[in-house]
Amino acid sequence: MAKAQEQTYKEYRIREEPFYIAVEDEVEIFNAAYEARLPLLLKGPTGCGKTRFIEYMAYMLYPDEEGDDGEAFSQLITVACHEDLTASDLVGRYLLEGEETVWIDGPLTKAVKTGAICYLDEIVEARKDTTVVIHPLADHRRILSIEKRNQVIEAHPDFLMAISYNPGYQSVFKDIKQSTRQRFVSIEFDYPPADIEKEIISHESGMDIEVAADLAKLGEKVRNLKEHGLEEGVSTRLLIYTGQLIAGGVNPLRACQVAITNTITDEKEVQKAIDELVSTVF
């Protein structure tokens, strides 16, 4: 039986080029921003490829190579933000080990030290006071202060800050503060246009391009219903799941039903309408 792979941040590397098709000029923008070490904010609905993009860029910027000290290090450290995420969850804390207290670096500190990209996913979910610790890292200072250890760390020259957020379902009170927001270069993402999306679906799900094109078409149609009880349109990720189910031998109509219709809404009438769109396309 296959076992889950346990890897520390140190070892976890993106070793193969992640599949990514640029929709607009996001790759160029990212490269330019990286040259100037400008922090980046990726905006966009769920499942449109923000995380994949950052993985792709991380790989492209540091293809499988050794770090400065000859050790392999992660190119990308991702933190999924949540309501209880505290500053010390990011920076690090003392832990008891035996009878000593040992300082453990948090993911942010690790990234700052090793020169990885630190990617804070869904930044708005984190508490506002937490997000403030990234401020000095996200401007010209590029420093991280660790009060508890009385330290100030200057970021590794390769270090890059990136955050993401989804403007769609965020309520106003979960908006990003201007002081945070204005430290970033923002790249807006949306679901890719049908002709690119079909390539993505086809590649990721292994389905032939015709089915992938139909899925992309369906995605487009379902997204047209966005205002009717759908918080967000169907994501590329879901379309890929659907493709994978179809590839696994599930009848396309059924696959769409379980992966799309039932997933994105609970409202019966809207579900029916989506089912009709499904049976129109397939």
Partner 1 sequence: MTEHGSSGSPLDSSYQEKIAQVSERLSSSSFRADVEFKRASTAMARVLSLKEFELWANLGFELGNISGRSWDCATEYFKSSPIVMEIEVFAFLDLHQWVGHGKELAAISAEAAASYFKHSPRFINEVDLWSLDKWVQLGRRLLDDHWKSSKLTSAYFRTSLECLPIFGLKGMEEWVKVAAALSSHSHDVGQRFLEDSRLWFAPLTDAEREKVLQISMAMAADDYTSIPKFFPLLELHQKKVKTEVRKPLYEICLNIAAQSAEDALAFLESAPLVLSRIESKDQIHLAALGSKLSDISWEAAMEYVNNLPEILATLPAHKVPPWFEAGMEVTTENAHAGTAYYAMESRRSQEEITRLQRTVHLEDINRLLNLYAEGLTARKLKIKKLEKESGLSATALPTTDGEYIQLPDKVAEYEDYTKNFKWYKVATAHQAGYYEYDTFCFSIRALKETGLGEIPRGLREKVARSERNDLEGFFQMFNEPSLASMLFRLMEDGRVDYLLRTNYRGLKRDMLPIMEHAMAERPPLRSLTPRRAALEMLLHITTLGEVRENLDPASEVFYNFIRGEVQRVFDADATVSDSALAAARVYPLIKKLPDMKGLRREIIEALAERLGNYDGDIDELLDMLLAEAEAGDTLEDLEGGDPYLLDVLEFRGDTKPEEVQKLMKLKEIKDNIDKLNEHGVPLPLDLLKELLKMGAEMDIIGMDEEDLDSSSGLFITNIDGLSEIPAYKKVKEMLEEEPETLQQLLYGDMGINDPLESIYYYDEWDHLIDDYRSKWCKLKELSPGDGDTQFVEETLKDNSEIINVIRRQFQLLRPEMFRKVKKLESGEEIDIDSAIQAVIDKRCNLTPSEKVYQRRDKRERDVSALFLLDVSASTDEEVEKNTPALPTADTSWKDDKYSNPGYARGGGGPPPPPEPSKKGKRIIDIEKEALILMAEALESIGDEYAVFGFSGYGRDNVEFFTIKEFPERYSDKVKGRIGAIRPQRSTRMGPAIRHAISKLDKADSRLKLLILLSDGYPQDFDYGKDRTSKEYGIEDTAKALHEAREKNIHPFLITVDPAGNDYLKDMCGKNDYMVIEKVSSLPQELLRTYRTLTYR
Report the interface residues with partner 1, using CB under 8 A.
86-88, 93-94, 96, 99, 101, 127, 129, 148, 171-173, 175, 214, 217, 221-222, 224-225, 228, 269-270, 272-274, 276-282
Shortest reach from residue 11's CB to partner 1, in Å: 24
Shortest reach from residue 223's CB to partner 1, in Å: 8
How far the first Cα of the chain sits from its last, in Å, is: 37
Shortest reach from residue 216's CB to partner 1, in Å: 12
Shortest reach from residue 133's CB to partner 1, in Å: 12
Tokens of 253: 């109509």
d(CA 151, CA 134): 15
Q: Which is nearer to partner 1, 162 or 281 (CB)?
A: 281
Q: Which is nearer to partner 1, 1 or 172 (CB)?
A: 172
Shortest reach from residue 80's CB to partner 1, in Å: 17
Q: Which is nearer to partner 1, 198 or 221 (CB)?
A: 221
Q: Which is nearer to partner 1, 185 or 253 (CB)?
A: 253
Q: Which is nearer to partner 1, 40 or 256 (CB)?
A: 256
Strands 117-121 and 76-80: parallel
